[in-house]
Amino acid sequence: MKHGKLNNERIAVIDLGGQYAHLIASKIRRLGAFSEIVSTDELQPEKILSSFRGIILSGGPSSVYEPLAPSTPRKLLDIGLPVLGICYGHQLIMHQLGGDVKNAHGKEYGPAEIQISDFSGLFAGEEQWDNAVVWMNHGDEVKTLPDGFKITGSTQDCAFASVADTSRRIYGVQFHPEVADTVRGDCYLGNFIKICGLENSWSLEDFLKAKTEEIQKETINRKVFLLISGGVDSTVAYALLSRSLPRDHLKGLLIDTGFMRKNEINEVKKALAAVEVDLDVHDASPDFYEKLGNVFDPEEKRRIIGDQFLKSQETASEKLFETPGDWMIGQGTIYPDTIESGGTKHSHKIKTHHNRVPKIQELIQAGRIIEPVRDLYKDEVRRLGELLGLPDSLVHRHPFPGPGLAVRCLCSDGSENSSMPIGDFINKIENKKNEASDICDQLIRHSLEGLVLPLQSVGVQGDQRSFARPAALLPLKERPSWETLEKISRAIPNYFSDFNRVLIRTGAKNPGGYYRRVPNRYLTPDRIDTLREADSIVTDFLREKNIYSEIWQFPVVIVPVVCGKNQAAPTKTPDSDAETAGPCESIILRPVNSRDAMTASVYRMNFSLIDDLTNRLLKIETIDSIFYDLTSKPPGTIEWE
């Protein structure tokens, strides 16, 4: 028995390197069928036939015509099981069966409307939903179909958005039905589950029962202490462990890194006391600040934070336990944490999660780590928390990263860099003259000045990590509509891979058209205190205006950029390391709507509320400008680092 399912009552999700391989598997489970990730080196058609009732080929960052691109045995398409190819998987099916796949000469990220031409198979019962929104994320596309296939759906820019060979039950879609932004994606995947004959064959309750038994077997003669951040993931992980273990075999430990939110520790202790968590707090903030003193690279920051977490945990455990070696370390790691760290065989690393640094990997190999919710996505974790009886105040709290405010505080080295007009930048890009002209025309038409900010942030474009520049829009007159802003914010990264984010400035103390990066800005208590105060202002504002529950997550990011040619860098007083007052930072607001953290769309806050919040934040003495991040995921990740 595996996860409560016998024999072959499951669907195989073939990992072809996409960041969404596990999301597909998770979505299939939520829709009522058990799914299992299968790597390409585990593919034996005969075994697949005996072990599964259907096959899904995932997306991926490669091109099917490249020599070393991930592939599957051609015979897999002939064994008689229903097959669904998604994005790269769709292209692979077409390529293997004799169709043509070529570069699309322009990447497509974001929403598109699909016109359905065949209301059977994946689209059975969808007649009233023609023109539904689907989510695109690709650079290649199918140009011709193999024999036996027909077009079942198209978008304005993609003729072969959906195809099918119904006689062989083989289907392909260029879009991603597994993400929440594909409006009818659940119905398309639900229809595939019906085609496989597995409708309503599995539930999260099955997972809870199987996981409880698995934890009890994994911890025989062992005890667990869980590193608790106070967020949803670690709290649900604790509740699941507490259901599975005797109380004296489980302990909670909170490492105070110095990067917690305002009043966070007291609120965490109070909240967890309600679910009878035995919580110890270890103040390690001086150690973290010392290790991160002159570090500005995001990956290096994450590595140091992960390593220091372990060192601080070891120090605390020596005080807590007589025999720390008898204890396992529990973590609230979930699927996106491992996926974006390159957790599947072919997946591209987007960023290293602090729970996936090398030392943690060593402990995983040694059997010293237990991660009860690592197979779940955020919405599943919330549902599991509800099943475990946790209060809504914990289960539906905004997600907060384990490294805390440290990954929302961008740093800079000793070099100084300046912004430049976006028109000057994009007009220099070869073979993009028409696109550059279109962007410039849109900016002029809507009275927007465009700048390339002297920053970089992490993103995900075409299933690959990107580390690119943000474009900033500066309104010269009245702010354009949300529809216009989102159209421009999609077009810029779609046309130009040099960008993975688009912002709009909502206010500034020194409103000019020139921005420069302030050099030598690192993780210091003063900067974190400023960010902590800004974050608190935002949270209080959301609750005051009764919109907290409308937003899935709201990162507040501090960046070392200031506006105005004459803006001086902060100086230090003669007898102190403290910086003198004066604007030397900017704040980026990043509210998003999401369901599973694998995709996200910008939250459309009322403009009057944006202005109110902007004015409150500009009262912070060291803050120069406020920006609002307009970027969906992809191409920008939710967090900036």
From 626, 198, 632, 234, select the one nearest 401 (Cα to Cα): 234
pLDDT (tens digit per residue) in 355-396 = 555 666 776 667 678 899 987 878 889 889 999 888 787 788
Share of the chain above pLDDT 90, in %: 51
Tell me, yes or no, if the two domains 11-195 and 420-629 fold the same way. Answer: no
Is residue 191 classed as helix, strand or coil in its secondary structure?
helix
Q: How far is CA 48 from CA 2, 24, 93, 576, in A?
A: 16, 18, 17, 68
pLDDT confidence band for 105 (50 / 70 / 90): low
Contact 133/182 with Cβ under 8 angstroms? yes
Please tell me which residue in 87, 187, 409, 411 is annotated as part of the active site: 87
Q: Helices then strands (H, E): number in the chain?
A: 18, 26
Element (H or E) spanning 530, and its range? helix 525-544
152 band by pLDDT with thresholds 50, 70 and 90: very high
Answer whether residue 1 shows pLDDT above 70. no
Residue 266's pLDDT is 83
For residue 332, what pLDDT band results from cuts at 50, 70 and 90?
confident
Domain at 204-400: CATH architecture: 3-Layer(aba) Sandwich (3.40)
Catalytic annotation, pick one of 22, 95, 176, 446? 176
pLDDT at 49 over 70: yes
CB atoms within 10 A of CB 499: 26
| pLDDT value, residue 580 | 46
Q: What is the DSSP letter of 123?
A: G
Mean pLDDT of the chain: 86
The more confidently predicted of residues 118 and 338 is 118
One CATH from 3.30.300.10, 3.40.718.10, 3.50.50.60, 3.40.50.2300 for 420-629 = 3.30.300.10
- Longest CA–CA span in the chain (Å) reads 81
Is 87 an annotated catalytic residue?
Answer: yes
Cβ–Cβ contacts within 10 Å for residue 218, how many?
A: 14
579 pLDDT band, cuts 50/70/90, is very low
Highest mean pLDDT among 55-64, 204-213, 475-484: 475-484
Whether this prediction's pTM lies above 0.75 is answered by no
Q: How confident is the model at residue 126 (pLDDT cuts 50, 70, 90)?
A: very high
pLDDT reported for residue 146:
95
Active-site residue, selected from the candidate residues 141, 178, 380, 486: 178
Which residue has better confidence, 467 or 589?
589
pLDDT tens digit sequence for 432-482 = 989 999 999 999 999 999 999 999 888 876 556 678 899 999 999 999 999
pLDDT at 260: 92
**Class of the CATH domain delimited by 11-195:** alpha beta
Name, in order, each residue with C-beta under 8 angstroms of 140's C-beta and a sequence gap of 6 or more.
Answer: 63, 64, 91, 101, 102, 103, 104
Q: Alpha-carbon distance 486 to 482, whole Å?
A: 6
Q: What is the mean pLDDT of residues 4-23?
A: 78
Residues 6+ away with beta carbon under 8 Å from 571: 579, 580
The pLDDT assigned to 108 comes to 64
Decide if 138 is catalytic. no
Give the pLDDT band (50/70/90) at residue 567.
very low
Query: Which sequence spans correspond to the domains of the chain?
Result: 11-195, 204-400, 420-629
Per the structure block, which two tokens stand in for 339?
């996926």
Q: Taking residues 382-411, what's their average pLDDT?
A: 87
556 HSE (CA, 13 A, CB side): 26
Weakest-pLDDT range from 32-46, 143-157, 498-512: 32-46
* Structure tokens given for 483: 């529809």
